[in-house]
Amino acid sequence: MFVKPFRVKSNTAIKGSDRRKLRNDVAAVFPTLTSEQLAEVVPMKEELNIIKIYTHKGETVTVYANGKNPVLFEMEKMLYPTVYTLWSYPHLLPAFSTWPPVMHKLVGGADLMLPGVIIPKCGLPQVKRGTLSAVTLVKNRAPVAIGTAIMTTAEMVAAGMKGKGFTVLHTYMDHLWAIGDKSSPPTIPPLEIEPSETVAGEEEEQKNEEGETPESSLSLDPSLQMDIEHLNLEEDISCTIIGGKEELSQNDAAEKTEEYEPNISEEMEDNRSPQEQMDALLYQCFFHALKCKVKKSELPLLTSTFLRNYMFSCCPKDQQLDIKKSSYKKFSKFLQSMQQQKILQVKELNKGVESIVEVDWRHERND
């Protein structure tokens, strides 16, 4: 939106009544702000200007500038924070992380594509279509862009983390940022140390300008970089389910996985094709997940969540589950087969998003 220069129509000091209305609006849109924080964003006595601008596309935008920096902007009666505000309050919006090279594309006017989104070990933030979200860079919570989600989190995962994920509205280094003091993002460490992260993205999205993978604690195999079905399996075992139902340390999870791993003889593996071996691994992870992970109280369960948080964590450490290499090719076709065998029932509870609604734990193949 602010990629190109805009035209300033007016720049005036805010009136007392407008200031109070703005403060009430900000409190309603961002309820997580404390009264002290609200007073910092919209001070009652300090200088606060209203700047009316026209973007290069002819959009009318109202910018609120606190001192030197723009802190908020409003368009079509919707309020948005600027990166300057988010640097002080990074918790304000759900945040999605990406690689530094992607930032250059966003500054150039590109929207955020899902292959460039990093998937943390505990999963992506849960958002709905149109949810205002922040974009951060790996290992730094300081937002560098804001945008609106084009689809829900479940739909992103169901799409294999491919396609456009967010419409970008404002970025660090754009012309809105430039009317401020032009400061750089601060370094805000993660809320907790995360030993691993996975990424669903193209290889070129994961490389820095020198062609090297960015320094981080990631553990990635080149074959795990194309879509959600290729997540780093060993690291995903340590996922903490934020709902509080299951919290496993990496060692505990590894031990639980090893406890249920069936012994497949080398002789048997040698006699099977790679596709047959992948089918066997798929069955193994599927039935182990149903038997040892899924609880009846968790149904209905998104099929994408079942795959990512349950099946992947059941994969033996020395193997990787790649559904595209199985005879089913797609997870939906595999589930369709399991449904035909009356092992479970899948329904489309929301348009385009399937969920497991029923499981027959007494089925002979679940024994």
User: Are residues 302 and 161 part of one domain?
Assistant: no
User: Are residues 148 and 2 part of one domain?
Assistant: yes
Per the structure, the count of domains in the chain is 2
Which of 186-200, 293-307, 349-363 shows the lowest per-residue confidence on average (mean pLDDT)?
186-200
The residue range of the domain holding 280 is 274-359
Asked if pLDDT for residue 61 goes beyond 80, the answer is yes
pLDDT for res 295? 87
Q: Residue 251: CB partners within 8 Å, gap ≥ 6? A: none
Residue 151 forms part of a structural domain = yes
Residue 258 forms part of a structural domain = no
199 vs 159, more confident:
159
User: pLDDT tens digits, residue range 109-150?
Assistant: 999 999 999 998 888 999 999 999 999 999 899 999 999 999
Residue 173 forms part of a structural domain = yes
Which residue is listed with tokens 């009544």?
17
Dist. CA 193–CA 199, nearest whole Å: 17
pLDDT for res 271? 62
pLDDT for res 292? 86
- pLDDT bracket for residue 220 (50, 70, 90): very low
User: Are residues 289 and 173 part of one domain?
Assistant: no
User: Are residues 141 and 3 part of one domain?
Assistant: yes
pLDDT for res 192? 54
Q: Residue 358: CB partners within 8 Å, gap ≥ 6? A: 299, 344, 345
Dist. CA 165–CA 200, nearest whole Å: 12
User: Are residues 155 and 46 part of one domain?
Assistant: yes
pLDDT for res 238? 33
pLDDT for res 226? 33
Average pLDDT of the segment spanning 284-301: 88
Residue 208 forms part of a structural domain = no
pLDDT for res 255? 34
Average pLDDT of the segment spanning 48-58: 93
For residues 60 and 52, the answer to whether their CB atoms sit within 8 Å is yes
pLDDT for res 128? 95
Asked if pLDDT for residue 197 goes beyond 90, the answer is no
User: Are residues 293 and 174 part of one domain?
Assistant: no
* Domain of residue 156, CATH code: 3.10.400.20
User: pLDDT tens digits, residue range 279-292?
Assistant: 889 988 998 888 88
Residue 130 forms part of a structural domain = yes
Average pLDDT of the segment spanning 322-339: 91
How distant, in Å, are the alpha carbons of 37, 302, 311, 330 from that of 33? Answer: 6, 32, 38, 44
- pLDDT bracket for residue 170 (50, 70, 90): very high
User: Are residues 278 and 154 part of one domain?
Assistant: no
Q: Does pTM top 0.85 for this prediction?
A: no
Residue 282 forms part of a structural domain = yes
Last residue of a domain, one of 136, 152, 187: 187
Mean predicted lDDT score pLDDT of the chain: 79
Residue 98 forms part of a structural domain = yes
Dist. CA 103–CA 336, nearest whole Å: 40
Task: Tell me the two tokens of residue 256.
Answer: 């639980």
Report the interhelical angle of 274-292 vs 331-340 (nearest 10°).
70
23 vs 271, more confident:
23
Which residue is listed with tokens 């679940």?
366
Amino acid at 296: K
Last residue of a domain, one of 166, 187, 208: 187
HEC secondary structure over 123-182: CCCCCCCCCEEEEEECCEEEEEEEEEECCCHHHHHHCCCCCEEEEEEEECCCHHHHCCCC
User: Are residues 157 and 23 part of one domain?
Assistant: yes
Average pLDDT of the segment spanning 336-360: 88
User: Are residues 294 and 180 part of one domain?
Assistant: no
**Count of other CB atoms within 10 angstroms of residue 294:** 19
pLDDT for res 120? 87
Last residue of a domain, one of 187, 212, 233: 187
Share of the chain above pLDDT 90, in %: 50
Dist. CA 284–CA 269, nearest whole Å: 14
User: Are residues 3 and 138 part of one domain?
Assistant: yes
Residue 203 forms part of a structural domain = no
User: Are residues 282 and 183 part of one domain?
Assistant: no
- pLDDT bracket for residue 84 (50, 70, 90): very high
Amino acid at 75: M
User: pLDDT tens digits, residue range 221-241?
Assistant: 333 233 333 333 333 333 333
Average pLDDT of the segment spanning 53-74: 93
Task: Tell me the two tokens of residue 46.
Answer: 């300090």
User: Are residues 133 and 2 part of one domain?
Assistant: yes
Asked if pLDDT for residue 305 goes beyond 80, the answer is yes
